[in-house]
Every structure is written in structure tokens, then in C-alpha cells.
Structure 1
């Protein structure tokens, strides 16, 4: 099933990219951005700006460093290495894909300024790659969570989704940017999760 899910996410990304490049989804992309603009309120702006910060490297890297201390305590040294390799790989892939597609940011009212290209969303990729991997590692280390892994992944998924929604709400990404970031990010997460599982088995031997 691992290969099937990875292939599905890569194919999904390809389909989203094709829709974006063809322009077939552009009108709906625009309408979704405008719909978020229409519901903006001062307190909601603050909430969304806080949520979007959880997808930025300036906050994500400290979270990873703090979590690495937990991993060190559990003697999961290979997981620390994988966590940071996953982050570096994800950032590299995102940067290259942005340069490849060179999609301009939405030409609407932005609550923050962004300078680089739009597709796929870097915050969404960050969130969909790193937070599920952290959730997976917590599940592997803590038996109480292992029995409740569906709930852990559901909560993690909701948090990741809200980060993606925040990017559209503040006007810096289209829904296709966010969906594309989620698709490729989850594929990378699954690959890294599989590697960690293999290394854990080797370590136990």
C-alpha cells in the first residue's frame, strides 16, 4: 500500500499542476481567493496570521530542534537525521518546483508580502511533510499514542489543513498552490516514514 499511496500523491500533484498550467482552474482559483477576502475580520486576520506562521521555517526549525531533544532522549538518533534531511529535501524540491512553474502570486489584497513564486505553496509543503512525520515519531515512541494513532493523525491533518487555508485567506496562494503543496509534501512524508521504519528494524536487530 505504501507504493500505491506515494504514486497516488505524485499523480495527484501532476494532475493539479496540469490544471494550473492549462488555466482551466484559474477562474475557480480566483473566486476562492475573493471569497476569503469577503469574510475577513480583524480577529480572524490575527488567527490566520498566527496559523500561517506554523508553516514558516523560522518557527518550524525551532520546533524540530526541540523535538530532536525528545528523539535524543529516546535514542532515536537516525530519526533526528531523517527529520532534518526530510526538511532539507522538501525545501529543495519546493524551491525547484516554484522556479520550474514560475507562477505569479495572486493579484489580490495580501495581508503579508511574499516575494517568490506561488506554486506549490511552501508553507503547505512544510506542514504536510514535517508535522505528519513528527506525529508518526510520537506514535512510535509513546505506546498510549500508538493505540490512538488514527486520532493523532486526524488532529495533525486538521492542523495541516488549517495552515493551508490560512495561506488562501491571507491572499498569497491559490487553492491549487495549497493542494499541490499538500500532495507532494505527503508523498515525501510517506517516503521518509518508510525509510525510518526500515532503519528502526535494522537498529532492533
Structure 2
């Protein structure tokens, strides 16, 4: 992906986030319809699966992952990648907290299957998953000579993980769909910024 493509996608994600941030209070019907549709598929195995995905998308899972990746990068003498992994994850988390405090949208209070604290908009799980897991996939592709089929499998797996983590928040009733879309847009935008910075430092 060249620099122009990255900038274009970044602008699109930024516009999408801004539009949602200005209109989510008017999209109550959309949130209700989509949430009801997703929660209509609740089953005991489904609840267990999405609870697991919510856990996978939490900081309790990301910290061990980033430690393992840091050791791997240190062995390969890729210290810059360690800095960017930390910068990517904690930057995304900090930015999400700032946005939550700015918009202060209350969480859904009905049909919830798990506990969640803090404000709702944008979704931290969706934002962090898109930013952090996306950046890991980017590093794997750029640091290793993968074949096309290997890249395809990696991208499909990463996308499914991000989608599963994001959907789990609506499935469990702790976020509105607009929270997820906005969080994903913000996460992708942050991911693209990190990629631009990384490419600049590598050069």
C-alpha cells in the first residue's frame, strides 16, 4: 500500500468518525434495529464464544501478546518495532479514553450479558483491535517474505478476529453499533498513522 492510498483511507475513516460523532444521537433507530438483529442470534455457545472474544480483545490479553512480540523483536534486533508496538497500543488506548470523555455517551442498559465500565462512544475494543491487531499483521507482512497465500490467510484471520471482537460488544449488549463503527474507523485511522510513522522511521 503506497503513501497516497494510506492517506486517502485515513481521510475516509476520519470523515466517517466525524459524521458518526455528530449524528449518533439521531441514529437510535439504526442502533436498536441492528442490536436487536445481532442479539436475536444469542445462544449458549454463542454467548460463550463472544465472551471469549471480548476477553481476547482486552488489555489483559494484549499485554502478554506485546511482551512475547517484544522478546521476538529483541532477538531479531528490531528494537524500533518494539517501540512502535507499545506506541500503537497505548496510543490507541489513550486516544480512546480522551474521546470517551469528550462525548460521554452512556452505555446500553438493557439486554446486557456482561459488565463494562466507562462511556460507550467510541468502542475501545473495536478501536484497539483494529489498531493493534492490524499493526501486528502489518509488521509480519513487512518484516517477513511471505507468499501471497500466506498474506491472504494472515489478513483474513486478522480481519475475522477484529470483526469478532467488535461484534462481541453488541452481542453482549455493552455497546451500540454506532460505537463499534466509530471505534473501528478511529482504530483504522490510528493504524494508518502508525504505519506512516513506521515507514518514515524505517527510511
| TM-score, normalisation: structure 1 | 0.91
What is the CA deviation profile of residues 137-180 of structure 1, one whole-angstrom value per residue up to 9, with x for unaligned ones? 11122212577434422321121011111110000011100001
Q: Secondary structure at the match of 2:175?
A: coil
For residues 145 and 158 of structure 1, the distance between their equivalents in structure 2, rounded to whole angstroms, comes to 20
- What's the C-alpha RMSD, in Å, of the aligned pairs? 1.5
For residues 75 and 142 of structure 2, the distance between their equivalents in structure 1, rounded to whole angstroms, comes to 14
| Aligned residue in 2 for 1:7 | 11
For residues 148 and 59 of structure 2, the distance between their equivalents in structure 1, rounded to whole angstroms, comes to 28
- Change in 2 beyond 3 A, CA 1:145/1:71: farther
| Aligned residue in 2 for 1:80 | 82
**Matched residue count:** 199
| Aligned residue in 2 for 1:17 | 21
| Aligned residue in 1 for 2:104 | 102
The answer to whether the 8 Å contact 1:139/1:146 transfers is no
Gaps of 5+ in 2: none
The answer to whether the 8 Å contact 1:121/1:173 transfers is yes
For residues 184 and 171 of structure 1, the distance between their equivalents in structure 2, rounded to whole angstroms, comes to 21
Residue 186 (structure 1) shift = 0.5
Gaps of 5+ in 1: none
